[in-house]
Structure 1
Amino acid sequence: MDNSATLILDKPKSEPVKEQPSRLRGFLAGVSSGVTKLCVGHPFDTIKVRLQTSGLNSRFNGPLHCLKQTIRKEGFRALYKGATPPLVGWGIMDSVMLGSLHNYRLLLQGNDPTVKLNVFQHTLAGAGAGITVSFVATPIEQIKARLQVQYDSTTKLYNGPIDCARKLVRNNGIRGLWFGLAGTMACRSFFSVFWGSYELYSRALRKTNLNEPTINFLAGGLSANNFWICAMPFDTIKNRFMTQPDVKPLRFPNTWSCATFIYQTEGIRAFYKGFIPCILRSFPTNASAILAFETTMRLLKNSGI
């Protein structure tokens, strides 16, 4: 054997290139999730918020009655009332939430994307992402909710999202936009349930012959149902607290007083007002959003981003 052949045989094999962590990928993919969520889910959200904030003497007999009355009196476009803040807001919120989720996962992985996290670690990353995004979500959700409960000329206080934001700041200062932050944090902390159960569902579904996009869709929808079963009471309190009349003294000075009032006047079932449209909305909206997120994540990864 000649020397050149020996050199070829003795040449050490090159090590596989280690995947480099991308801290930007989750933020970019989150935008696609937010836009998808708005298109699919906003009409359901409008019905949910109207039922949640209607109080004891509700003008609606249930979600179907609310849907019919809304369309009959205000037209189909009324289902997208308050959609402008989420159109921008959900893109921003999902970018922050899913981007921070991705980075919390990287932190728990020791900055090595190849490390497999356990279910508890996914749950912990979800809780951190939910609390982080609350600071962005609170002003967006407050403006959205206030616009959604404008039924007619007698209840119309704002001409649009900018007018609503301007009046809130004028009456309460810049901090007025974060009115209800504690309730938002309490509600969104249950993203721990979402992402913990998402990992469990994904593991179980991967034992089948389903492809990855289908697994993303099904696991996302099922996890969203788990989230809302746990978070719904806190979402009701948040929306009732945020949409109270902006006059001094406030009817509910804090979220606890709001929760106490709902329980004492309407009972425990009031915390689940709007649950049916919420669950009907939950699966298709979040299944589609997670599919968009995971697909975009794969595309960005394959593109080297």
Structure 2
Amino acid sequence: MDSSVTRAQAFGQAEINWDKLDKTKFYVVGAGLFTGLTMGLYPVSVIKTRLQVASGDAVERNAFSVIKGILRMDGIPGLYRGFGTVITGAVPARIIFLTALETSKVAAFKMVEPFKLSETTQAAVANGIAGLTSALFSQAVFVPIDVVSQKLMVQGYSGHQKYNGGLDVARKIIKSDGIRGLYRGFGLSVMTYAPSSAVWWASYGSNQRFIWRVVGNGTDLEKESPSQGTIVAVQATGAIIAGVTASCITTPMDTIKTRLQVLEHEGRKTTTKQVVKSLIADDGWKGLYRGLGPRLFSMSAWGTSMILAYEYLKRLCAKDGQI
């Protein structure tokens, strides 16, 4: 796909498209790679979730107090509550996400090519479409995992019910609300993660090309190829900017979604309107940005780690002679 070959790729970063990958190796190695990344960053998700569901009179109202409370009560294992459930669902969700991302990216570049957009705009649009599409597909698997894991993350905290593992959570949800209970907040989840994914990938795709132009590799194709360190620095910078952009735009929806999924107490349903009113009553409009710090850090750290690992994964899993 000639139109998708960026200026940065002309300096030794040839695009490894879907048809150039060894799919079996891609899935197997990728599952292990992203499991490791999830393990490293999982505590941040626990902290973010607890901040978002904290009641108005909760003592632990900032990240440091939440960490101290978790370590005091449960030690290091407390930072990994619900991790087993997340990993169980993350593998199929990640496979669906990556497959949809790569295939839709190819289709999106072809779709926007006739519009003769600038390289940066074309990358933003195509990557945004791919990010949106992949998030929509993966949410069917991820939402039930999200619902269960978040209940485990906050069990016993601020009056929340305790469970005996992920299966116990799922069993009680199904008993109370049926299968649809596992999709509590599905609409909000899609409204959060789909735009977040679209913004992240659009920002990353365009930022990376802009940065290459700024550092001087955007016009002279006869110039010596950049070093591996430069390539990694550009990718990391693009990922950090993308993470900050996406988290600032989508945190309010994520906060509402999280509270909606985990805050309904026995015998009382919670609506989106009630959640919003409660947040504003407790903290004003800034209540919608509860957990912004951890989420911003998580999205930036995860995005940077993910994209560097992902680019490495694609090179590692390219078919012979394709790079």
Question: TM (normalized to structure 1)?
Answer: 0.82
Residue 274 to residue 205, structure 1, CA distance change in 2 (3 Å): same
Contact 2:21-2:319 at 8 Å conserved across structures:
no
> What is the aligned partner in structure 2 of residue 191 from structure 1?
197
Contact 2:192-2:250 at 8 Å conserved across structures:
yes
Aligned residues: CA RMSD? 2.8
Unpaired stretches in structure 1, ≥5 consecutive residues: 1-18
Q: After superposition, what is the alpha-carbon deviation per residue over 1:147-172, rounded to whole angstroms, capped at 9, x for unaligned?
A: 00013696443110111111111111
What is the one-letter code of the residue matched to 1:269? K
Q: What are the residue-to-residue correspondences of 1:81-160 with 2, within 5 Å?
A: 81-110=81-110, 117-151=122-156, 155-160=160-165
Q: After superposition, what is the alpha-carbon deviation per residue over 1:170-197, rounded to whole angstroms, capped at 9, x for unaligned?
A: 1111121111101100111221110011
Could you tell which deviates more after superposition, 196-205 or 89-98?
A: 89-98
Could you tell which deviates more after superposition, 238-247 or 209-218?
A: 209-218
Higher helix share: 2
Q: After superposition, what is the alpha-carbon deviation per residue over 1:106-141, rounded to whole angstroms, capped at 9, x for unaligned?
A: 222449xxxx85321221221222222222211111
Question: Is 1:177 matched with 2:182?
Answer: yes
Contact 1:169-1:177 at 8 Å conserved across structures:
yes
Question: Is 1:218 matched with 2:251?
Answer: no
Residue 178 to residue 75, structure 1, CA distance change in 2 (3 Å): same
1:210 Cα offset (Å):
5.5
What is the one-letter code of the residue matched to 1:177? L
Question: Is 1:290 matched with 2:295?
Answer: no
Residue 246 to residue 155, structure 1, CA distance change in 2 (3 Å): closer
Aligned residue pairs total 281
In structure 2, what is the Cα distance between the partners aligned to 1:20 and 1:100? 10
> What is the aligned partner in structure 2 of residue 80 from structure 1?
80
In structure 2, what is the Cα distance between the partners aligned to 1:129 and 1:159? 33
What is the one-letter code of the residue matched to 2:250? A
Question: Is 1:281 matched with 2:294?
Answer: no
> What is the aligned partner in structure 2 of residue 201 from structure 1?
207
What is the one-letter code of the residue matched to 1:200? S
Q: Percent identity?
A: 22
1:225 Cα offset (Å):
1.9
What is the one-letter code of the residue matched to 1:224? G
Q: After superposition, what is the alpha-carbon deviation per residue over 1:192-230, rounded to whole angstroms, capped at 9, x for unaligned?
A: 110011012211333434533443333223312211111
Structure of higher CA gyration radius: 1
1:249 Cα offset (Å):
4.0
1:20 Cα offset (Å):
7.5
| Residue of 308, 312, 316 corresponding to 1:299 | 316
Contact 2:97-2:138 at 8 Å conserved across structures:
yes
Residue 210 to residue 241, structure 1, CA distance change in 2 (3 Å): farther
What is the one-letter code of the residue matched to 1:272? Y
Question: Is 1:21 matched with 2:19?
Answer: yes
In structure 1, what is the Cα distance between the partners aligned to 2:18 and 2:182? 39
What is the one-letter code of the residue matched to 1:65? S
> What is the aligned partner in structure 1 of residue 222 from structure 2?
none
Q: What are the residue-to-residue correspondences of 1:208-247 with 2, within 5 Å?
A: 208=215, 209=226, 211=228, 212-245=231-264, 247=266
Residue 159 to residue 202, structure 1, CA distance change in 2 (3 Å): same
1:22 Cα offset (Å):
5.8
In structure 2, what is the Cα distance between the partners aligned to 1:92 and 1:242? 22
> What is the aligned partner in structure 1 of residue 221 from structure 2?
none
In structure 1, what is the Cα distance between the partners aligned to 2:125 and 2:208? 14
Equivalent position SS for 1:43: helix
In structure 2, what is the Cα distance between the partners aligned to 1:97 and 1:56? 36
